Amino acid sequence: MIMKKIFLITTIASTIFAVGCSNNNEVGQEDFHIQENKNTISFVGGIDNNQTATRTSITHTIGNGAIAYWSSGDKIWVKDNSGVFHQSSAGVLNTTKAKGLFNMPNGMYSNGCQVNYVGGSSDGTKVTIAANQSQTVANDFSHAGVSGDCGTAIATGSGSSFVFTLQHKAAYLCLMPRSTNAAFMACKLTGIKIISNNAIAGVYDFSSGNLSTAPISSTSNTISLTTNNFSIPNIETQSFASYVVIAPGVHTLTIQYQLLDPNIGQAGTVTKYVSSTFVAGNIYDIKSNFDTNTIGREYYLWDAKYDTWFGHTADQPYKNDTYDTNGINNYPVSSSDIRWYNPTTSMSARAQNSSKDCPTTNEITWYAKFGDPHWDANELWAWNGMGTVQKGGMWIKKKAYISGFTASIGATGVDYNSNPVLQASFSTPAIQGRPSSSDINKYFFLPAEGRYRFFRDGKTGIMKDVGVTGTYFPSTNTPVVPSAPDGTYALHFTKDFLALSNGGTKKDAIMNWKAQ
């Protein structure tokens, strides 16, 4: 008897916007026997007969294959000489899960009879790939059978003694998130939602021994996996893996990792994208690095040489409406401070220091008017080495996808770089939700990073509006009112709009950005 094995594994490595794939290889085969005179089928693979009834489980090792086991209560279906499928009794399995005996109470069988394993289905010709799956222990794929694992074989033999090899016909995902950011590592994985451009779950016809190309009922383009607060490791490891059964096929998948920071109650998602041909019988390793959702912690006054909390990083506040307890001693308040904004008064002068790579005011107008803003209320992000996870931000169309985009003139026909229009501002309503997976590469993401206000609520250097608004400086010196040189235009957004704002001040501390 041959142990049923899953051989080589396919690996898919994924980031926020890019995916790489390697070769696809066979998941596994299993050997069975219909024993002479007793109409029984003997399986290699199984479990102690006294255990709780479940369905097949899979033990997976990255790079070294995997082994599929049978569980107590498993049954198979065999097609008799009249073309009717009959269900076996529950398998009698040994304690090593390596062998089992399945009795066929009805039917006559000949060489070439078809054997189906259909998980928990009550019909030997149908398989249900569950739209809602559950995993209670990390790196445990014991839910494979109840989630939709299935297989088929053609038996060879004569009389009542047959041998056959079962081949798996679903596809499988092994999801492995990680992050070196302490904010993400403090979170727990509560679930994973997989959204496809086509069907990946439902009731499939399995009469031929292959899943039908589309479900025959209960069609779903989404699979939700409930997890039991799994940890996020800081290294690439299988120890915290989550598993999903999906229908094979060519799929573009949006994978939303659902996280909860139990310390502050913050919940949100980290989203990744995978496009591939998912072959029946293959298991795919999907590695997701959450560090791509990490941003710097440096906030600057306009074109300052040093960030606002330079020399005082231990006192930098990171929660809304909090400020340094040392007050104005740690926030720059005068031009004698090395962290003060660039004092140039030359109209249209370009930034020379921290803001020199930011878009010009003209470029900001193109984003504000034609950037097709999409507000993302759920995507999590975190500062590098500071605080906890935050969420909220705007997806804005990249300049390559904005017709007529130019730095030489504003989107309204005015050259804002050299001739600011007094009190001119405009906004574009935001669409709620991120762009589609097919268009996401046309957009870039700006977090709603809030800002440190020079003076607000009676405090200097108070953190305001994290997760609520985003404000970003231009690289050009374009004060709204020339007589007030510390005022400036800026890119500004809330959940409702994206705007060219004329209400900025160079004394506020804001993050820098680059045109994309």
Annotate 6-69 with DSSP letters as a single string: E---EEEEE-SS-EEE-------EEEEEEETTTTEEEES----TTSPP---EEEE-TTS-EEEE
> At 411, phi and psi to the nearest 5?
-65, -15
Can you give the pLDDT at residue 66?
Answer: 60
Neighbouring CB atoms inside 10 A of 238's CB total 16
Better-predicted residue by pLDDT, 95 or 291: 291
Sequence letter at residue 389: V
| Average confidence (pLDDT) over 388-397 | 96
Give the whole-angstrom CA distance, residue 49 versus residue 101.
10
Neighbouring CB atoms inside 10 A of 17's CB total 14
Give the whole-angstrom CA distance, residue 424 versus residue 136.
56
Parse the chain into domains and list their residue ranges.
5-293, 296-505
Chain-centroid distance, C-alpha 298: 26
| Average confidence (pLDDT) over 140-163 | 85
| Average confidence (pLDDT) over 133-158 | 90
Can you read off the two tokens belonging to residue 363? 């470029």
The verdict on pTM exceeding 0.75 is yes
Nearest C-alpha neighbor of 486 from the set 356, 326, 340? 340
Q: What tens digit of pLDDT does each residue of 450-470 get?
A: 999 998 888 889 999 999 999
Nearest C-alpha neighbor of 39 from the set 89, 85, 3? 89
**Residue 41: pLDDT above 90?**
no
| Average confidence (pLDDT) over 160-184 | 88
Report the percentage of the chain scoring pLDDT > 70.
85
* 123-127, 128-132, 161-165, 231-235: the lowest-pLDDT one: 161-165
Q: What tens digit of pLDDT does each residue of 401-414 get?
A: 999 999 999 999 98
222, 196 contact by CB (below 8 A): yes
Can you give the pLDDT at residue 326?
Answer: 66
